[in-house]
Structure formats: structure tokens, C-alpha cells
Amino acid sequence: MIKLTRLKEMIAEKGQTYKKCAAVIHVSPQTFTKKMHGSSMFGIEEANNLGDFLGMTGKEKIDIFLS
């Protein structure tokens, strides 16, 4: 299960917005919000691209998206 609380914290720590994150993974802000509320899942490429955008290490990506 994705660790949404930690992901939200990382987005805030990096000073990013849902709108910017949505653009990075090529979805609408509404779709990104659904993903952040657990109504929709992140695909592998989306998770990887978002992790890169937020400066996550490989370990952090695994911990947040795959644990």
C-alpha cells in the first residue's frame, strides 16, 4: 500500500504543488488528487517519474510506493 502521508510530506517539503506533480506524470490535477486520496493507483512509470521529480532515492521510492 502506498504511503500517502509520507508522499504528501515530501511534496510539501520540496515546495511543490499537486498541479506541478500532475504535469510531471502527465495527468490532470483532478486525477492526481484522486491518486493522492487513494481512489486511483500510481502506475510504475508515474511513481518513478514523481519520485525523480521530488528527488527521492531508489530506497525512498520503494518504501513509499511499494511497501
Answer yes or no: is pLDDT of 1 > 90: no
What percent of the chain has pLDDT above 90? 97
pLDDT tier for residue 67 given thresholds of 50, 70 and 90: confident
Task: Give the C-alpha separation, 63 to 26, whole Å.
Answer: 23
Q: How many helices (H) and strands (E) does the chain have?
A: 5, 0
Q: How many CB atoms lie within 10 A of CB 65?
A: 20
Class of 4-66 in CATH: mainly alpha
Residue that the C-alpha cell 504528501 belongs to: 8
pTM: 0.93
Amino acid at position 37, single letter:
H
The tens digit of pLDDT for each residue in 42-61 reads: 999 999 999 999 999 999 99
